[in-house]
A and B are shown apart, each in its own frame.
Chain A
């Protein structure tokens, strides 16, 4: 049972049920849909990027506790971050989940999302944890594409 307690921590179960970010934004700059067909995780992420900063983000959808908590914690982390910083953190998170961290990585930068590190021991759940982060990466690209003054670039996370 102890490893289940490591997985479904109080923090993760609470975030999985949090309603704080479950809403629609006024005038989002990008809306992106993320889906894991085999298990049914299904989220729609809305972001508002202003002057290269993620001013606001929200999501709606259904999915397992891991996918929902991961989404909620990601939004907590990302609001107020620059797009460049966000993409660096997305890459860091995905490498953490895939057990591909380097010596100089500091997962404390991921704040509460760092508690999802244990997912790296559960191959069947990796896609649940990374869904929101991949979706945000696409949303950032989408937002940039909506802005004529910027040329979209493919992110690290889009490799997944």
Chain B
């Protein structure tokens, strides 16, 4: 499968930073290149063929994404630049309109900063209270405090550090009982699991293209139609309008109300082609490959007595492994691994509150995708065996 990915095909680098971004298959690169070589024009604006084709491409991509996550309608799919922008859109547009002094926003302590800081800012500006779901000793969500004051529940389906699949069904059911809306951060889940927004019953879902084989700069916000329709625009400008007068404007219908300015057609083609690629492989196979890599990696890591693992004693997990090498800072580990051709992430992974909650300053993270192999894991393990020696600890 690595042969489909030009950057991986020479086998020099064991790329294990897929939670940060994934590599791109030839099919995606070619589709984007073909667009710029043969069809590029500003969508929704021109009457000539290229513009019509660009418009067609972006609307086809929207339909494909709607089907991919089983949204009821393509108008519930808003293009953004990434999951971060999608989450900010909900916080600013829905949040500022609907939150009042004393209302509660509930998030988890395992959130990426992109599903944390926007809510913090929203709470400060509205007088709402930001509350947290804490974790048990394994890393699973504890019972959430959802009550009549709860207006927004914003939670990740999979933590980008612990990789644990959170069962959101009960949280969503309870939030809806109290009339709260549920925002799901799907940045780590949508690339790895079959997603069905109707079955999940979330009100909003945010994800990024670049973590699922598409180029950087294209992201998605799914929103339930009744909410999107009632929300004011987030960004204003071209093509999100109906009539513009000197002092007032009426806005376009969904989804274009939320898509101000020239849209990223190349990115939309990229994510559309990425979905084709993922569906050809199938999520059943993707999940089984990642499970195999996890089952292979975790015992090998446990055998290394100088490794501390986090969130690894659970079954419900995708291919994300957070760890530390005893007495060595993650940044030094990452530098040493890099010199051995192994790419991992080191630091707080944009999750400082989670690290503080876990009593950690920072951690290393190896994250897999379906194109990784057992050989990549072997290279990780071999390189790790070297770390303490390089640091002159043994």
Contact = CB atoms under 8 A, between A and B. Distances in A.
Interface of A: 1, 3-5, 7-8, 10, 13-14, 37-42, 62-66, 68, 122, 124-125, 128
A66 B339 contact: no
B336 interface: yes
Given A38-B347, A42-B361, A124 B335 contact: yes
A40 B339 contact: no
A3 B331 CA distance: 16
Given A8-B391, A13-B391, A62-B361, A39 B330 contact: yes
A65 B327 CA distance: 10
B318 to A, nearest CB: 24
B392 interface: yes
Nearest to A40: B362
B392 A63 contact: no
13 contacts: A4-B390, A8-B391, A8-B392, A13-B393, A37-B352, A39-B346, A39-B347, A39-B348, A40-B329, A40-B347, A62-B329, A65-B329, A124-B335
Nearest to B346: A39
Contacts of A4: 335-336, 339, 390
Contact of A63 (B329, B348, B393): B329
Contacts of B328: 65
Contacts of B392: 8, 10, 13-14
Contacts of A7: 335
B239 interface: no
Contacts of A5: 390
Contacts of A62: 329, 361
A7 B334 CA distance: 13
Interface of B: 328-332, 335-336, 339, 346-348, 352, 355, 361-362, 390-393
Nearest to A10: B392
A67 to B, nearest CB: 8
A4 B337 CA distance: 10
Contacts of B335: 4, 7, 122, 124-125
Nearest to A2: B339
B286 to A, nearest CB: 30
A14 B391 CA distance: 9
A114 B391 CA distance: 19
Given A38-B347, A40-B355, A65-B332, 15 more contacts: A4-B339, A8-B391, A13-B391, A14-B392, A39-B330, A39-B348, A40-B330, A40-B331, A40-B348, A42-B361, A63-B331, A64-B329, A64-B331, A65-B329, A125-B335
Contacts of B329: 40, 62-65, 68
Contact of A64 (B332, B339, B352, B393): B332
Nearest to A7: B335
Interface centre among B330, B335, B339 (most CB of A within 10 A): B335
Contact of B332 (A8, A10, A14, A37): A8
A128 to B, nearest CB: 7
Contacts of B336: 4, 8
B391 A40 contact: no
A116 to B, nearest CB: 14
Contact of B390 (A8, A122, A128): A8
B390 A66 contact: no
A12 to B, nearest CB: 9
Nearest to B113: A37
Contacts of A40: 329-331, 347-348, 355, 361-362
A51 B330 CA distance: 41
B337 to A, nearest CB: 10
B331 A125 contact: yes
Nearest to A14: B392
B390 A39 contact: no
Contacts of A10: 392
Contacts of A41: 331
B331 A39 contact: yes
A18 to B, nearest CB: 13
Contacts of B362: 39-40
A128 B331 contact: yes
B153 to A, nearest CB: 27
B11 to A, nearest CB: 20
Contacts of B393: 13
